Structure 1
């Protein structure tokens, strides 16, 4: 049955986000409401990873996206080790990424006056070996279009309701949830959706963030590029299946050849100096491609040409009542170092496990506030570094492994630290936002270190033990901890799995206790995002009480 449409205007008034609404009856009707636990607005990396994370935990969200489908253009490339580790906890995702990847070698980085004359840049000989000591995650240089298809497919298989070709028309919130009106772009049908929470994954312009009155910090629009996707026979310059980026110093251009064979030219674009989209005719785009390649007679076809704005912004807060900002809606940075998409996927994952626990009654709502407390400071480090890199990167694409340049490092990607009530910080902690992942401390708030293990003769990583719930790691002397974990899981109604390293699971290199900072009989509690939440360095007289107290605090119960 259709109901009269009600148009409500929400105005921001602090973190409680009280509503002042004026109801206006119109002749238009809206179908009766559907009920979902989470409504996600936006169907790119952020929205898809949030939907996937929720569906994998038995919380079926609804996602609405104005576009008819996922990205058809490459847009961005690659997943860093941290992102790959998180996605690998969801069954089926790592296998799908592996099947789509043709070449897992490090990307080829070249530099020269043209593609024809470019030479490979020096790569530190130990770079890949260093990463292999830090993570079991394979290299992934797939384009965003491919990764989005994988995330979408798996999310739908797990029960997420993904409605492409559907846009948000209006929304309101109160203490009990969010009511939205959405519209199918094909036939114009409108209907209401009631949700416990709304995730704003609606991009850097984020109408939802704007309507909430949440301000942003940062430099705003700090530059522009024109992105030209083209087809041409360049097999003489690129290896099939291997990602390659070619910087052309002094030209304001760079060329990306991705693992799917798609070629993209990035060109500096200056609308503030009078340039416009009208200037980038097909003939001009073809000329730029030929100049970049160094072949004035090159046969090429322009597939797509579009402007791209380089942004630097950080939302002042990530949550307002029942609405949570994620991805570019919460923070945006230039794409030069390739980390914006990774931050977006990580946001989605971090939101999903928190929302699932809160919606399942296993955690208090205050757990959602730890998302901003943890993510915002860590994300800002990456934003500031990407801005610094953008200032020195010719053609606006990273084309160097030079450690003297502000490039992404293992310390940033794997050595970050979180500080919030969802971490049981130890006395004397320096509250640093990073540590050296090659020399991990195992402190609460740090990423659980990768350690090589064996189980039944098969190699695995400590990260293979992590999944949708909490994990307690202890040793062969930690039977009391394992028994306590089973009891506490039952009391609190949560997923908590204990693993004893030293029995069936063998420490292949004899280093796990050192890397996790515990002694014989100690234990470490790892969250669903593979972050260390708490530890007991030694055996405890009351392991059940200690573990229950820690989890009760972490879960805001």
Structure 2
């Protein structure tokens, strides 16, 4: 039997697996990805990348330009509810005007309204260009692990040919019903199944009822149905169904689907073209642990939530990024193996905030529309920048400060730049272009400072420890014309802030100590779990 040796085997080729493969390959760790389907999704499935997800993806080669092209002409999505799509009195659920504009918080838009099918195609192309080996039409048969690594047997779906793969680590990106998670015996917590949806994809001329290229989520009151229009010529209708009432996916024949589409549009004469229909279980699940030996769970294999707030896919991509940079540093010899244990320690509490909020949102929603909540309520269960930009990570590799309050979130409009939080976005210029502090992050560790002494210390420490550490003095080649960077990062002009590849601050020196190199070496050694 043919054997292949790879550093990381990734099982699953959707959001989680493709992001993991791309991020690893971009960091010099070429993985093998296997996916039993013949290719990436051709159906929309999910929509929307929040600012945090966009920031992370744009650090990976090739993604930014392709995302820009994908969302170039897409407008901000609106929500409405009415008796049908044709109802002239549909009520729009526009959020109240907030004097706290989210745009200044990040160098990217607050939301990129793009479908999962589009994003998966982008990730696949970029991963292949970066050197990842992607094997679609190949499924995992079995695996074992020991202290030395993982041995997996995989099979080509079309031919039945099997071969072995030896890997240092395995990433389970095989979805909500993860077989890998089950084989490992990892229990699942949470509320379980919360409901069932049938998703119907179709084309139709809807120009009599919505503007061409409209980007809207439209609820059909009293039916449990919702349209999602994403600006393309393909539309989806989400329909609730209830097994406890004897309803099954078999009820959704093509004629029945066309009937439901016409009824929801409110025009019996319209002639939609049926493309596809599939069932979708709404669930709230969380694996009891995200790691077992050399196998890691990420994305839906680790957790799942209702789709109402559109954050499940964002969590999957963020998991993949946060795991992959750790794997790359450990496999490259820059970090200690203990760094991998902090993936679960940091992600699990932050993920759980979103899972619980999505459950509360589903409880006040009809279909995909939050029909019974007050958008002016500051505690309304809707996703906000505080959730995905104001998160706080806590683990042994984050050097929290004595006055840290232990909170899982902070107000991103009042970000403190303290360890554990996302590094604030500050606009800089190099004399020819405007860029963000976030344009400096993504590969290795980065030190931001206003004092040349720290730059010299960084060179010394990088050489001594054999790590990738880039130091940037703000005020040299990079200028902060607003004069805000030091204040935003909570340091003095002679201080420094140490930022990880995932743009999280792990340590800061508020001023210049007697031994900058010693202070920095100690901090970086801790941050790398060495």
Give the TM interval when normalised to the shorter protein. Answer: over 0.9
Q: Distance in 2 between matches of 1:492 and 1:464?
A: 25
Once residues 239 and 474 of structure 1 are traced to their aligned partners in structure 2, the CA distance between those partners, rounded to angstroms, is 50
Q: Which digits, 9 at most, give the CA deviation of each residue in 1:111-135, with x for residues without a partner?
A: 22211122433343447x7121111
In structure 2, which of residues 128, 137, 144 is the aligned counterpart of residue 156 of structure 1? Answer: 128
Distance 2:242 2:202 in 1: 21
Does 2:10 align with 1:40?
yes
Residues 537 and 239 from structure 1, CA distance in 2 versus in 1: closer, same or farther, beyond 3 angstroms? farther
Q: What is the CA–CA distance in structure 2 between the aligned matches of 1:179 and 1:382, rounded to whole Å?
A: 34
1:369-518 alignment to 2 at 5 Å? 369-397=341-369, 402-404=375-377, 405-475=380-450, 478-518=451-491
State yes or no: 1:186 paired with 2:158: yes
TM-score normalised by length of structure 2: 0.96
Taking the aligned partners of 1:43 and 1:310, their CA distance within structure 2 comes to 21
Shift of residue 110 of structure 1?
2.0
- SS of 2:492's partner is coil
What SS does the aligned partner of 2:479 have? strand
Alignment gaps of 5+ in structure 2? none
Q: C-alpha distance in 2, partners of 1:238/1:141?
A: 18
CA–CA distance in 1 between the matches of 2:212 and 2:341? 46
Find the counterpart in structure 2 of residue 274 from structure 1.
246
TM (norm. structure 1) is 0.92
Q: How does 1:37-436 map to 2 (within 5 A)?
A: 37-117=7-87, 118-126=90-98, 130-138=101-109, 139-397=111-369, 402-404=375-377, 405-436=380-411
The CA distance in 1 between the partners of 2:65 and 2:188, in whole Å, is 38
1:522 aligns with 2:492: no
What value does the CA root-mean-square deviation take over the aligned residues? Answer: 1.5
User: In 2, distance between residues paired with 1:105 and 1:299?
Assistant: 26
1:401–1:257 distance in 2 versus 1, CA, 3 Å: farther
Task: Work out which of the residue numbers 532, 536, 555 in structure 1 matches 2:505.
Answer: 532
- Count of residues in Structure 1 that have an aligned counterpart in Structure 2: 524
Aligned-pair CA distance for 1:71? 0.5
- Paired residue secondary structure (1:204): coil
Preserved CA contact (<8 Å) 2:96 2:376: no
Distance 1:248 1:455 in 2: 51
> Which structure 1 residue ranges, 5 or more long, are not aligned?
1-30
Cα shift at 1:242:
4.4
- Residue 18 of structure 1 aligns with which residue? none
- Give the secondary-structure state (helix, strand or coil) at the position aligned to 1:43: coil
